[in-house]
Amino acid sequence: MRVIAVNGSPRKKWNTATLLKKALEGAESQGAETELVNLYDLDFKGCKSCFSCKTKGSRSYGKCAVRDDLTPVLKKIEEADAVILGSPIYLGTVSGEMKTFMERLMFPYLAYTNPPQSLFERKIKTAFIYTMGIPEEQLSEYGYKLQFDTNEYILKILFGHSEYLLSMDTYQFKDYSKVVANRFDPEHKAKRRKEVFPEDCQKAFDIGARFARMDD
């Protein structure tokens, strides 16, 4: 059993990375081999719309033809049993690196058939962990749920299973006094960090543990 987590945050020791590491700890608790990929360490670009992945007879049919630092990561995902993506929400969507990664991961496996079909050869488990500064009551107001549900829908088509975890109203800075951010209450954020974030960490751990149990 091999579980790969992909960090779409530039921060390696903050909310998103912490939750992904907890998920991998959960997988390791069940004996899985794990790996964490930090996208911001890699040099790669998005889909070039070459359509080699969809061209009849192409050597890249069903695979991305672009060669860069993402190529070996995509190869590892081909061989993985579970993949857990994680990203903060920036300006209403996932980070730029994560969006670029999603293009390269998903598009080659999406066959232009009616209905859409997957060219991925196996069924694996996938999950998405989102972190964001807004509280739960603003989720509908900002329209985020449609985006999360859409990503889940596509991942299910391609890989067979998907779910997502929302970590909301997150603690964004170690010292709020050093940044211009009077929109947020530092005491409230610290309280959430102390009381709610550990619960999110446990949920992430549970996802990893479930994914690593072959009979689930």
- The domains of the chain, with CATH numbers, are 2-212 (3.40.50.360)
- Long-range contacts of the stretch 77-80 (C-beta < 8 A, 24+): 77/4, 77/105, 78/120, 79/2, 80/2, 80/3, 80/4, 80/124
Q: 40 with 117: CB under 8 angstroms?
A: no
What are the C-alpha distances in Å from 105 to residues 70, 77, 110?
9, 9, 10
For the chain, give the longest Cα–Cα distance.
60
pLDDT tens, the chain, 216 aa long: 999 999 999 999 999 999 999 999 999 999 999 999 999 999 999 999 999 999 988 888 989 999 999 999 999 999 999 999 999 999 889 999 999 999 999 999 999 888 888 999 899 999 999 999 888 888 888 889 999 999 999 999 999 999 999 999 998 888 888 887 888 888 888 888 899 999 999 999 999 999 998 655
Closest to 83 in 3D by CA, of 203, 175, 211: 211
Integer-rounded Cα Rg, in Å, for the chain is 18
Collapsing DSSP states into helix, strand and coil, what is residue 125?
strand
CB atoms within 10 A of CB 189: 18
Q: Residue 41 carries which side chain, given as an amino acid letter?
A: D
Question: Number of helices and strands (H, E) in the chain?
Answer: 7, 8
